[in-house]
Amino acid sequence: MAKQLFDTMKNGYNRYQVEDYLNELEEKTAMLNRKVEMYRKRSEEVEHQLILIKRKYQYVVDNLAAKEQAADDMARMAMRQSNRIVETAQANADVIVKEALMSARSILLEVAKMGTEATELKGNMYEQLKIISKALDDFEIPPLPDMDLLKKDEDQLLR
């Protein structure tokens, strides 16, 4: 602030200049006090907003941490569940393969049994055909009677 110079008069300085200067200083002081009060209020508002922002930030951080933990838990549960599904599928596949192999073995045994039976049946039928063929060869047909004789006998009977 610049140094203020006052006119000198009898018994000191010019009273009106001093009073004007003092009034001006009072106005400046009052204005500065109002500014200080306004800045204090603004500072309090900013501090209050800062507290609110810090609370919101902490809430977001806590919420994010909880969500990250939940996501990690869900990922672990999903991994365990998928591992159980894979294990169950492998066990089921093993059972299905074993059942299929047993069925195939059973079918092969049946086919082999049927082949053996067919061979035996063929042999039996061949033997029976031989017997029938021999019986046909050995079968003798008796001589047929003379048909004329029969006609004569019939004519005599009708008369």
pLDDT tens for each residue of 104-115: 999 999 999 999
Residue 20 lies in a domain: yes
Residue 110 lies in a domain: no
Residue 31 lies in a domain: yes
Residue 144 sits at φ, ψ, to 5 deg, of -80, 140
Residue 50 lies in a domain: yes
Residue 91 lies in a domain: yes
pLDDT tops 80 at residue 60: yes
What is the pTM (predicted TM-score) of this model?
Answer: 0.42
User: Average pLDDT for residues 6-34, to the nearest whole number?
Assistant: 88
User: Average pLDDT for residues 117-137, to the nearest whole number?
Assistant: 88
Q: Give Cβ neighbours of residue 6 (< 8 Å, ≥ 6 apart).
A: 13, 14, 17, 18, 21
Q: In total, how many domains does the chain have?
A: 1
